[in-house]
Amino acid sequence: MTLALVAAIALPAVAGEGPTLKYGLETQLRAMLSHLDEPGGNPGNEGGMQVRTARLDVRAKSEDGRMSGRFLVGADRASGGIEIEYAYADLALPQLWRLRVGQFKPEFLREENVGSTDQLAAERSYTADYFTVDYAEGAALMRDFARSRVAVALHDGSYSAGTDLGGDRTDIALAARGEFALRGDRKRCADFRALPDEGTAVLLGVAADFEQGIDPDVLKASADVAVGGPGYSLFAAVIVQSLDGSHGAAIADQTALVAQGSVCLVPGSWDAFGRWEHLDFDGVYHRNKGAGVSGATATIDDEALDIATLGVNWYRDGQSSRWTLDLVRALDRIPVANTGSGLLAGSAAGQTVVRLQYQFKL
């Protein structure tokens, strides 16, 4: 991919000849206020500002279109440094198949497949963040058909981006996802926005991911449906995850449900949305990443979590310039904080978060 980028820079694209190079900028600026119902020893209210996203996205394509690449870097919110998110090359294969090699997001959850700037709420669901494969290193085979698409990836495990040999918890992992348009054009469901002048489309998706390495082994699967119609959009997903220790000993069987909908209020300018999510941890919180409370397996007291989100979007120039105001209500204790959502750990009961976000894309 580096050669493709160098070639694109050295030979600027002219109509009909040479490789092409495109770049874009995207930023999300967020203000949040979180209120804990029973803070205990923690502050009852926590507020602040956050540069949630600050990215440079570079894409290159060869003259014949048979090779392309993407290099996306962004600001690390924790350290303030720069981190590589996407760094891959796509190569055309016979029969319209494509091979992707490098660092990318293996396709599993539809919420993760939709970009962060194309979501309805200021942030993806807590459930998606918990079950995501996130950025990983590996290789994937993909093919788009008229009404469907498939993707299979051999990767180095969840959160393996930027890791060295032995630097992650996984020795081998395999992810697969398939989508089929039951009705209409599947590209109609490319994001979750309610569009007033589009036809109706129904998109079904199924996916699975298996990761083996340091205990526990992880097997997760999902099924989802997206519906886009004139002035509205609907989305729902069911996710299951099995955590197994040595010799197949069961640790936890977790389930989750996410349901989301939006309606167009003013064509091209305003929409309103709502989301509900239910997550049953089965007594264990586990994300297959490095050391730490949110990385290694940890026992939690609460087995279930329900979160509701309501909000509105004001589009000044589509997704390129957008304001989002939403309210998040966690009905149960948050076992591990998700600062992007504004949800903090520590309250014995629930909490409420108000978020105001402005995003722009160039």
Per-residue pLDDT averaged across 117-126, rounded?
A: 94
Q: Say which amino acid occupies 70.
A: R
Range in 133-147, 153-167, 276-290 with the lowest mean pLDDT: 153-167
Instruction: Report the chain's mean pLDDT, rounded to a whole number.
Output: 86
Count of domains for the chain: 1
Contact 222, 109 (CB under 8 A): yes
pLDDT in tens, 202-246: 999 999 999 988 778 899 999 999 999 999 999 999 999 998 876
**Could you count the other beta carbons within 10 Å of the beta carbon of residue 237?**
24
Evaluate if pTM is beyond 0.85: yes
Q: Which two tokens stand for residue 88?
A: 């891959």
pLDDT in tens, 147-156: 999 999 999 8
Q: How far is CA 235 from CA 75, 109, 228, in A?
A: 30, 12, 9
- The gap from C-alpha 83 to its chain's centroid, in whole angstroms, comes to 17
Q: Which two tokens stand for residue 342?
A: 């504004």
Q: Which two tokens stand for residue 207?
A: 């996916």
Q: Which residue has the higher pLDDT, 254 or 161?
A: 254
Coil vs helix vs strand at 83: strand
Q: Which residues contact 14 (CB under 8 A, 6 or more apart)?
A: none
As a dihedral over the C-alpha atoms of residue 110, residue 113, residue 119, residue 123, rounded to 10 degrees, the angle is 90
- Read off the CATH number of the domain in which 125 is found: 2.40.160.10
Contact 36, 351 (CB under 8 A): yes
Q: What is the DSSP string of 27-49?
A: EEEEEEEEEESS-TTS-SEEEEE
Contact 256, 239 (CB under 8 A): yes
Q: Say which amino acid occupies 202.
A: V
pLDDT in tens, 150-190: 999 999 888 877 776 766 677 889 999 999 999 998 888 88
* Domain extent for 239: 2-361
Contact 330, 343 (CB under 8 A): yes
What letter would DSSP give residue 294?
Answer: T
What letter would DSSP give residue 14?
Answer: B
Q: Say which amino acid occupies 326.
A: D
Coil vs helix vs strand at 248: helix
